[in-house]
Amino acid sequence: MRTFSFFLVVFFLASVQSFSQTSRVPASYSNIKYDSQNQLYYLKDGERLYSYPQEDEYTIEQLLGNPSGTKRGIYFDFKGFKGTIVYGLIPYGKAPHPLPVYRYTKPLYDGKVAVNISNRFKYPFDFVDWENKKKLSLGYRLINEKGEIIFDGVVSVTGNGPFNVVPTIYEGPFVSNITDTSALIWFNTSASVKATVEVDGKLYSDERKRRRHELLISGLKAGTKYDYTVTYGEMTQSYHFTTAPKKGSRKPFIFAYTSDSREGKGGGERDIYGTNAYISKKMAAVAYSHDASFVQFTGDMVNGYVTNAEELRLQLTNWKKAIEPFWHYIPFYVGSGNHEALGPRFYDKNGKYAAAIDGFPFDRNSSEAVMKASFVNPENGPVSEDNSKYDPRSKKTDFPSYSENVYYYTYGNVAMVVLNSDYWYAPSAKNDHGTSGGLHGYIMDNQLEWLKKTIEKLEDDNNIDHIFVTQHTPAFPNGGHSRDDMWYSGDNSKRPYIAGKPVDKGIIERRDEYLDILINKSTKVVAILTGDEHNYNRLKITKEVTIYPENYDKPKIEISRPIYQINNGACGAPYYSQEVLPWSDHTKAFSVENAICLFHVDGKKIKLEVINPDTLNKIDEIELR
Ligand SMILES: [Fe+2]
């Protein structure tokens, strides 16, 4: 009897587990299933192509090193990390863009190391005055056995021997979502702490102890510089930000645009575990030193294409760390690219990669969820592709959220509309639609509808003179992506599949609908800002430009007025050179130098200046309006 009921319980639990697992595959996918062992597979032509969950190579928690204070310094345990630590003091309060001054290197033993502060950093090496102040922040870099840099970390301590580890900001503080009356200051701490931000004598405080801090500073005056001080337990950091100009004032300002900073080649800081920190940092320095009010960065911050959320989080943290010294002062708005891909990858029985989809559950394991959790962007975009005409189940969630990956913001007389052309992205969708999923370069229905309404709203806003629309993929690829983006070598059959069925509009038809909104339904859209192709170039789209493949049998749109496509995917990923395309004669200033675009906005006029952030060479300069 006992044995019988035991088996009943086991059977019941197994069936509950298998049911709950199986039910978790979103209805928007097709041919994706769990087997009786709860292994996920893609059923293709009768063959099961399995996905193999991978262990995290590293986790942020591991790289924070579980530090503890000792009599003479800090003891770290990086949980089996093989390699070396490099460390030095960080001059918070002494330098406007505090960066660790690395001074010593030590091997790790089984991931563990004791770092000496008392002797190593005493007079005359104490440039942060820790011996008097009895507090300091140590920056450290972890390098693996192959010599690859994996992580730049921080740990704050009090005392001058013995030392106590205290809550540390390991990323931030960042300033985001600046308007004419508000700003959002956010940061992550190594331990739970109730943090505060002081602005203009007013204190903004977390409601309770936490590790992720987001404090909205409001009630500010337009066009005003504000000092701010972040206090987190024993430690403080002070920077400043400037609110956006008064609406309608049409004061001149500069903003910057770039994208594609995934890892470069050549080692060192060109590849800090997934990101080209070297060029990213220089890009941010150039933007800041040229008085850019904000930077728009649209996709491929990191290598991505990972199966685990933690891997993507770590890579994005490394990107944020590269830019952090400048993000204390000016906002960086990010969009999604194909490289932020996260989700299961399916392999055939020979171990050959066959297909990949966006991860689920969508609220935790999708690219969209990790992007939302990793950044702060405005929350005024569409909800998701649920409730579109293709939604397989109304009232149920079958798609990832657009929150903070599709949005718009305004600054002075400019509006920036940020789209996600790698939404619900299935990397294999181009060649294999069996799984269903989003197609690289395709703006799906609800997002397009939101774009249309947003442009209408901005057209009616008398304070806005210029609109920029940015998404990762060019409408007109020029070098590296002629076989995808919004062109696919002119093959309109390419489109997303939802729940096993193709959507009505192909990629070229959808590109046309998108262009029709920006060109024919708008007088204010100046340019589309794109990336994906690792080069800088500009294309003026006029009615003279050929934009269709030969023998195109679908309706063609009229180009009633010119707009620009400014492509800049040159923030550090390996370059692509120019290809021959129908619009190539109109493609100007093509360059494979690393590049940052600086838009000088002065009332009705806009001048574009393009600079190589590595050499400071001026690549291009042109009046857009
Ligand atoms: Fe890309």
- What is the 101 CA–ligand 1 centroid distance (Å)? 33
- What is the 296 CA–ligand 1 centroid distance (Å)? 16
- What is the 327 CA–ligand 1 centroid distance (Å)? 23
Beta bridge partner(s), residue 300: none
- What is the 503 CA–ligand 1 centroid distance (Å)? 23
As a whole number of angstroms, the distance between CA 619 and CA 611 comes to 5
Report in angstroms the alpha-carbon separations of 614 from 46, 123, 594, 596. 52, 35, 7, 10
> CA end-to-end span of the chain, whole Å?
85
Each residue's pLDDT tens digit, 425-445? 999 999 999 999 999 999 999
* Best CA proximity match to 182, nearest among 214, 135, 136: 214
As a whole number of angstroms, the distance between CA 485 and CA 467 comes to 22
Mean pLDDT computed over 560-569: 98
As a whole number of angstroms, the distance between CA 405 and CA 419 comes to 7
* Best CA proximity match to 192, nearest among 232, 250, 135: 232
- What is the 71 CA–ligand 1 centroid distance (Å)? 49
- Are 304 and 339 a contacting pair, CB within 8 Å? yes
- Write phi, then psi, for 84 (nearest 5 degrees): -130, 160
Each residue's pLDDT tens digit, 455-505? 999 999 999 999 999 999 999 999 999 999 999 999 999 999 999 999 999
- Are 429 and 438 a contacting pair, CB within 8 Å? yes
pLDDT at 332: 98
- What is the 336 CA–ligand 1 centroid distance (Å)? 9
* Best CA proximity match to 456, nearest among 525, 546, 537: 525
Mean pLDDT computed over 549-576: 97
Mean pLDDT computed over 152-170: 97
Each residue's pLDDT tens digit, 597-618? 999 999 999 999 999 999 999 9
- What is the 594 CA–ligand 1 centroid distance (Å)? 15
- What is the 251 CA–ligand 1 centroid distance (Å)? 34
As a whole number of angstroms, the distance between CA 491 and CA 309 comes to 33
As a whole number of angstroms, the distance between CA 49 and CA 12 comes to 28
Per-state percent for the chain, helix, strand, coil, to nearest 5: 20, 35, 50
Residues in the chain: 625
Q: Which secondary-structure segment (H or E) carries 9?
A: helix 2-23
pLDDT at 21 over 70: no
pLDDT at 316 over 80: yes
Mean pLDDT computed over 110-114: 98
pLDDT at 15: 40
* Best CA proximity match to 502, nearest among 351, 389, 336, 603: 389
- What is the 212 CA–ligand 1 centroid distance (Å)? 29
Percent of the chain with pLDDT over 70: 96
- Residue 445: exposure state from Cβ atoms within 10 A (0-12, 13-18, ≥19): buried
As a whole number of angstroms, the distance between CA 136 and CA 157 comes to 6
- What is the 579 CA–ligand 1 centroid distance (Å)? 17
Report in angstroms the alpha-carbon separations of 426 from 53, 446, 502. 17, 18, 14
Mean pLDDT computed over 167-191: 98
Each residue's pLDDT tens digit, 193-204? 999 999 999 999
- What is the 259 CA–ligand 1 centroid distance (Å)? 9
- Are 589 and 606 a contacting pair, CB within 8 Å? no
pLDDT at 55: 78
Mean pLDDT computed over 396-414: 97
pLDDT at 246 over 90: yes
571 phi-psi bin (left φ>0, alpha ψ -120 to 50, beta other): alpha
Mean pLDDT computed over 361-386: 98
- What is the 277 CA–ligand 1 centroid distance (Å)? 17
Mean pLDDT computed over 138-162: 97
- What is the 447 CA–ligand 1 centroid distance (Å)? 19
- What is the 442 CA–ligand 1 centroid distance (Å)? 13
- What is the 479 CA–ligand 1 centroid distance (Å)? 12
Tokens of 321: 């760390």
Q: What is the largest CA-CA distance in the chain?
A: 86
The H helix count followed by the E strand count for the chain is 9, 35
- Beta-strand relationship, 73-77 and 112-116: antiparallel
Mean pLDDT computed over 309-336: 98
- What is the 484 CA–ligand 1 centroid distance (Å)? 10
Mean pLDDT computed over 46-72: 94
- What is the 339 CA–ligand 1 centroid distance (Å)? 6
Residue 24 CB neighbours (<10 A): 11
Interior CA angle at 232 toward 226 and 237, to 5°?
40
pLDDT at 16 over 60: no
545 alpha carbon, distance to own chain's centre: 33
- Write phi, then psi, for 106 (nearest 5 degrees): -145, 140
Q: How confident is the model at residue 11 (pLDDT cuts 50, 70, 90)?
A: very low
Residues 6 or more apart whose CB falls under 8 angstroms from that of 10 comprise none
- What is the 86 CA–ligand 1 centroid distance (Å)? 33
pLDDT at 178: 98
Supply the pTM of this predicted model: 0.95
Task: Quote the mean pLDDT of the chain.
Answer: 95
- What is the 513 CA–ligand 1 centroid distance (Å)? 22
Q: Comparing 5-19, 366-380, 538-552, which segment has the lowest mean pLDDT? A: 5-19
pLDDT at 227 over 90: yes
Mean pLDDT computed over 371-393: 97
- What is the 561 CA–ligand 1 centroid distance (Å)? 28
Q: Which residues of 321-352 are buried (b: 16+ CB within 10 A; e: fewer)?
A: bbbbbbbbbbbbbbbbbbbbbbbbbbbeeeee
* Best CA proximity match to 496, nearest among 358, 395, 298: 358
- What is the 270 CA–ligand 1 centroid distance (Å)? 18
Percent of the chain with pLDDT over 90: 95
- What is the 261 CA–ligand 1 centroid distance (Å)? 10
- What is the 337 CA–ligand 1 centroid distance (Å)? 5
Report in angstroms the alpha-carbon separations of 549 from 124, 179, 214, 501, 520. 69, 43, 48, 25, 21
pLDDT at 19 over 60: no
- What is the 301 CA–ligand 1 centroid distance (Å)? 9
As a whole number of angstroms, the distance between CA 330 and CA 285 comes to 11
- What is the 529 CA–ligand 1 centroid distance (Å)? 13
As a whole number of angstroms, the distance between CA 215 and CA 198 comes to 10
Q: How confident is the model at residue 269 (pLDDT cuts 50, 70, 90)?
A: very high
- Beta-strand relationship, 253-258 and 292-298: parallel
pLDDT at 9: 42
Dihedral (CA of 288, 294, 296, 300) sign: positive
pLDDT at 53: 79
Beta bridge partner(s), residue 418: 407, 470
